[in-house]
Amino acid sequence: MTRLAIIDSGGANIASLQFAIDRLGVSSTLTTDAQVLRAATHVILPGVGAAADCMSRLRQAGLVETIRTLTQPLLGICVGMQLLFESSEEGDTVCLGLLPGRVRRFAGRAGFPVPHIGWNQLEFDAANAGNPLLAGLNSGDHMYFVHSYAAPPGPVTLARTTYGEPFSALVQQGNVQGAQFHPERSARNGACLLGNFLRL
* Residue 197 to residues 15, 37, 109, 132, Cα–Cα distance (Å): 19, 16, 34, 8
- Residues taking part in catalysis: 78, 182, 184
* Residue 167 to residues 19, 153, 200, Cα–Cα distance (Å): 28, 5, 24
Sort strands 93-94 and 99-105 into parallel, antiparallel or unpaired: unpaired
Report the candidate in 47, 27, 75, 20 with the shortest Cα–Cα distance to residue 197: 75
DSSP string for 104-159: EE----TT--SSEEEEEE-B--GGGTT-GGGTT--TT-EEEEEESEEPPP-TTEEE
Backbone angles phi, psi at 162, to 5 degrees: -115, 125
Tell me whether residue 150 is exposed, middle or buried, using C-beta atoms within 10 angstroms of its C-beta: 0 to 12, 13 to 18, 19 or more: buried
